Amino acid sequence: MVRYLAAAVQMASGADRAANLARAADLVRAAAARGARLVVLPEVFAWRGPREAEAAAAEPVPGPTTEAMAAVARETGVHLCMGSLLEAVAGAERPYNTSCLLDPRGALLARYRKIHLFDVDLPGRVAVRESDTRAPGTDVVVVPTALGALGLSVCYDLRFPELYRRLARAGAEVLLVPSAFTFPTGAAHWEVLCRARAIENQCYVVAADQTGRSPAGHLDWGDSLIADPWGRVLARAGDGEGLAVAEIDRARLARVRRELPCLAHARLSG
């Protein structure tokens, strides 16, 4: 498939799992109704509650949330990136923050466990220590699909260009970035980082963010967007819950890489 529409879903998820799943399903259906073949949900879309409750809220993969969203993928016929969820693994002390990719039949194509954990203290603004309750992953994940090769990542990963260069070298054409970017860092860096990752890797970027106030009390940035390999922002979700929808043109991506072959010119390993 040379051209198709992708959608980044913007949500304001809370601690009511059933309500989150229902809202996610409605937004995926809305994206499919607009013609989207690839839909990306935001980070921790299914449940966002107190840090001390995360271990109890974690679930296996496959599990109830993947089964619920697999039904939505089958219903709509889309490739669905389930943003991320808290994955419980037998024997692990902490859950992983895991992104799952489903195909249009609802089959689980791949999972990616977030490598870089957000441990930040901005005095008077936001303090988050993701590593207190979540374990880091280790594997770089690129998934070949009928829509092209999809590179998986989550939120804070966006600040680590070496991950995205590895994704590009493994063949990624579209970089998926489900996120829950906080307001201070989002205002300063979200768009710049998304566009930079698109430009330096000559990939499309589909970045789906949380919006509103998180259960921890800090504001999320929103501004879910889709950027092309030239770094242009093709679509934004705007304020509140909603969608950013834009065309992925693999022929254009191939042309950009052919006319400016900087990936082939790289001399240093990342």
In a domain, 133, yes or no: yes
Q: What are phi and psi of 121, to 5 degrees?
A: -130, 105
What residues have CB less than 8 Å from 44, skipping those under 6 apart? 13, 83, 84, 85, 86, 97, 180, 210
Checking if the pLDDT of 122 tops 80, the result is no
Task: Say if residues 23 and 223 touch (Cβ distance below 8 Å).
Answer: no
Q: Residue 221 is part of a domain; what is its CATH number?
A: 3.60.110.10
In a domain, 69, yes or no: yes
AA identity, residue 265: H
Which residue is catalytic, options 114, 173, 200, 203? 114
The rounded distance, in Å, linking the Cα atoms of 137 and 100 is 13
In a domain, 270, yes or no: no
The fraction of the chain above a pLDDT of 90, given in percent, is 89
In a domain, 93, yes or no: yes
Q: Which of the four pLDDT bands, split at 50, 70 and 90, describes residue 9?
A: very high
What is residue 129's predicted lDDT score, i.e. its pLDDT?
Answer: 82
Active site residue 155: yes
Q: Which of the four pLDDT bands, split at 50, 70 and 90, describes residue 110?
A: very high
In a domain, 176, yes or no: yes
What is residue 270's predicted lDDT score, i.e. its pLDDT?
Answer: 60
Q: Average pLDDT in the 65-87 region?
A: 98
In a domain, 148, yes or no: yes
Distances (CA, A) of 268 to 159, 166, 262, 265: 19, 12, 12, 9
Task: Say if residues 208 and 177 touch (Cβ distance below 8 Å).
Answer: yes
Task: Say if residues 226 and 233 touch (Cβ distance below 8 Å).
Answer: yes
Active site residue 262: no
Active site residue 43: yes
Give the count of domains, the chain: 1
In a domain, 72, yes or no: yes
Residue with tokens 């974690």: 58
Distances (CA, A) of 123 to 126, 193, 220: 7, 23, 17
What is residue 216's predicted lDDT score, i.e. its pLDDT?
Answer: 79
Q: Which residues pair with 8 in a beta bridge?
A: 40, 244
Q: Average pLDDT in the 145-164 region?
A: 98
Which residue is catalytic, options 43, 54, 200, 241? 43
The rounded distance, in Å, linking the Cα atoms of 36 and 38 is 6
Which residue is catalytic, options 155, 194, 200, 203? 155
What is residue 124's predicted lDDT score, i.e. its pLDDT?
Answer: 65
Q: Which of the four pLDDT bands, split at 50, 70 and 90, describes residue 119?
A: confident
pLDDT digits (tens, 9 = 90+) for 166-225: 999 999 999 999 999 999 899 999 999 999 999 999 999 999 999 999 887 889 999 999
The range of the structural domain enclosing residue 97 comes to 3-265
